[in-house]
Amino acid sequence: MHAEYADRETMREARDRYFEANGFGADGGYGEAWVDFRLGPIPLPFPNTPGRVRAVRYHDLHHVLTGYDTDPRGEFEISAWEVGAGCEGFFAAWVINLGGLVAGMLSAPRRTFAAFVRGRRSRSLYGLDVDELLDGRVGELRARHVGHADGARPADIARFVAMVAAGVVVGSISTAIFLPLVPVGIVANLLRKRQRAQSESSSHPPSRPGITKTTS
């Protein structure tokens, strides 16, 4: 879900609203064992590894700064932007984003390429101190880190082709590794939802009709 974040807000305030707008929970889902990647209406669960959690803390802040949505096309755009801007030494970010770049080329090539070029004019937050970033202002960080897609140059095109080729290889390997885990993730998510429902029902027991408690 797309939301606007004012320049005067702190990144912490903006991130909290981003979590709420997208239903990610108070901690953004960082503590979940499994996360869903949705292929349209179809959820494809995969393990929420420590490397993925480490990367997504920056990824969420990039959503706030760039304005890219959290629907499938928005995620493909932010993947392309992060590949263009650079993911530093965050292996999980490279793997996920290269896969997203290829998926974006198949579903929304113009938007994906524009996001990549914009990323090439930007500087990602990867590797910076997260707490310091959260204390910063949205407008100040946007000005320092987010550029504009001002037209592709030959070097951008060459880099893009190389990254798409890498994405095809990485995506094929990732699919071969994670696809067999999807049934396990589906069962784990069903059990998790059942446990939550039971926990909520036990903390809020239904009232018994026809019986009232009075005091004398």
pLDDT digits (tens, 9 = 90+) for 153-164: 999 999 999 999
- The answer for residues whose C-beta is within 8 angstroms of residue 55's C-beta and 6 or more apart is 87, 90, 92, 93, 96, 126
If you compute the radius of gyration of the chain from its CA atoms, what whole number of angstroms results? Answer: 20
Mean per-residue pLDDT, 64-74 = 95
pLDDT score for 204: 57
Q: Are 68 and 77 in contact (CB under 8 A)?
A: yes
**Residues forming a β-bridge with 34:** 47
d(CA 127, CA 90): 8
Work out the average pLDDT over 123-141. Answer: 98
Cβ atoms 121, 148 nearer than 8 A: yes
Q: Highest-confidence range of 44-58, 149-163, 197-211, by mean pLDDT?
A: 149-163
Helix residue ranges per DSSP H, 67-108: 72-85, 91-107
**In the predicted structure, residue 214 carries a pLDDT above the cut 50:** no
**Higher pLDDT pick, 202 / 141:** 141
Specify the range with the lowest mean pLDDT, choosing from 23-37, 47-61, 98-112, 181-195.
Answer: 181-195
Secondary structure letter of residue 27 according to DSSP: T
For residue 188, with 0-12 CB atoms within 10 Å meaning exposed, 13-18 middle and 19 or more buried, which class applies? middle
Is the pLDDT at 52 greater than 60? The verdict is yes
3-state secondary structure of 182: helix
Q: Whose structure tokens read 């999980």?
A: 92
**Residues 68 and 60 sit within 8 Å (Cβ to Cβ):** no
Per-residue pLDDT, averaged over 176-203, amounts to: 68
Residue 210, pLDDT score:
41
- At 209, is the pLDDT very low, low, confident or very high (cuts 50, 70, 90)? very low
pTM above 0.75, yes or no: yes
| Whole-number pLDDT of residue 176 | 82
Q: CA-CA distance, 26 to 20, in Å (whole number)? A: 7
Q: What is the mean pLDDT of residues 162-182?
A: 85
Residue 198: burial class (beta carbons within 10 Å; 0-12, 13-18, 19+) = exposed
Instruction: Kindly tell me if the per-residue pLDDT of 211 is higher than 70.
Output: no
**For the residues 116-139, what does the mean pLDDT come to?**
98
What's the mean pLDDT in 184-192? Answer: 65
Residue 18 has pLDDT above 50, yes or no: yes
CB 15 within 8 A of CB 146: no
Instruction: Tell me the pLDDT band of 59, cut-offs 50, 70 and 90.
Output: very high
